[in-house]
């Protein structure tokens, strides 16, 4: 039986370790292209984290219909899903779960597909847990509304959402604790 690498446990373990690094060090770009053998990074992340216990929303139709049965995730509306897959070119026209004071882990994880991680005109200055001092991050193909909406979503810690940006081969995370500035202006 020929199984695509992203569905294999050893590949998922390596992708997970890259996710651990990405969330531990916001703005640090993690290259996973080599271990997932040409699959899109976002698809590999979904394969790594999804199972029948998780709810997943796909408001922009990013997931191939053939992948849903393999992911086993329960489809859910974007307002109630634990994980959301979104197209970064489009403005976020939804309100994700932010969790509650008692259970902030119910704040959604949003996987945002963009053109390029570590390149592009949009330069973010990052501070917060996991960032040693300050770090800059460039993103290409992200609709500007994302940062404005994220600022609303993460405004009342511990409530918030955790973002994971990806292009074809790379990942970078912005958990809810990361402070973003663009040209000195806070987002």
Kindly list the residues in this chain that would bind another protein in the complex (CB under 8 A): 3, 7-10, 12-14, 16-17, 19-20, 23-25, 47-51, 53-54, 70-72, 100-105, 109, 129-132, 157-158, 162, 173, 175-177
Least distance (Å) between residue 121 CB and another protein = 27
Residue (of 118, 143, 111, 117) closest to 43 by Cα position: 111
141 or 178, CB closer to another protein?
178
Cβ closest to another protein, residue 104 vs residue 118: 104
DSSP string over 82-120: SEEEEETTS---S---B--SS-GGGBPEEEEE-SEEEEE
Q: Give the nearest distance from C-beta 13 to another protein in angstroms.
A: 5
The set of residues, in sequence order, having a beta carbon less than 8 Å from that of 99 and lying 6+ positions away, is: 105, 106, 107, 158, 159, 160
Q: How far is the CB of 135 from another protein (least distance, A)?
A: 10
Q: Closest CB to another protein among 46 and 117?
A: 46
Kindly give, in sequence order, each residue whose CB lies less than 8 Å from that of residue 150, ignoring residues fewer than 6 positions away: 161, 163, 174, 180, 187
**Between 12 and 62, whose beta carbon lies closer to another protein?**
12
**Cβ closest to another protein, residue 33 vs residue 104:** 104
Q: Which SS3 state, helix, strand or coil, does residue 57 take?
A: strand
Q: In 141-187, which ranges are continuous DSSP H helix? A: 145-153
d(CA 126, CA 179): 6
Query: In the bound complex, what is the minimum distance in angstroms from residue 72's beta carbon to another protein?
Result: 5
The minimum distance between CB 69 and another protein, in angstroms, equals 9
């Amino acid at each position: 039986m020929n199984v695509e690498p992203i569905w294999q446990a050893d590949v998922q373990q390596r992708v997970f370790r890259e996710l651990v690094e990405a969330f531990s060090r916001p703005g640090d770009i993690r290259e996973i292209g080599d271990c997932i053998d040409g699959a899109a990074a976002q698809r590999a992340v979904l394969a790594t984290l999804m199972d029948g216990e998780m709810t997943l929303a796909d408001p922009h139709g990013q997931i191939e219909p053939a992948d849903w049965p393999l992911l086993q995730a329960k489809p859910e509306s974007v307002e109630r899903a634990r994980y959301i897959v979104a197209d970064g070119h489009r403005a976020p026209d939804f309100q994700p779960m932010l969790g509650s004071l008692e259970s902030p882990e119910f704040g959604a994880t949003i996987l945002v597909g963009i053109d390029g991680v570590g390149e592009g005109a949009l330069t973010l200055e990052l501070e917060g847990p996991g960032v040693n001092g300050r770090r800059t991050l460039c993103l290409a193909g992200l609709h500007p509304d994302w940062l404005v909406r994220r600022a609303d979503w993460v405004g009342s810690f511990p409530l918030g959402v955790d973002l994971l940006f990806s292009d074809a081969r790379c990942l970078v995370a912005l958990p809810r604790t990361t402070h973003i500035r663009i040209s000195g202006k806070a987002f």
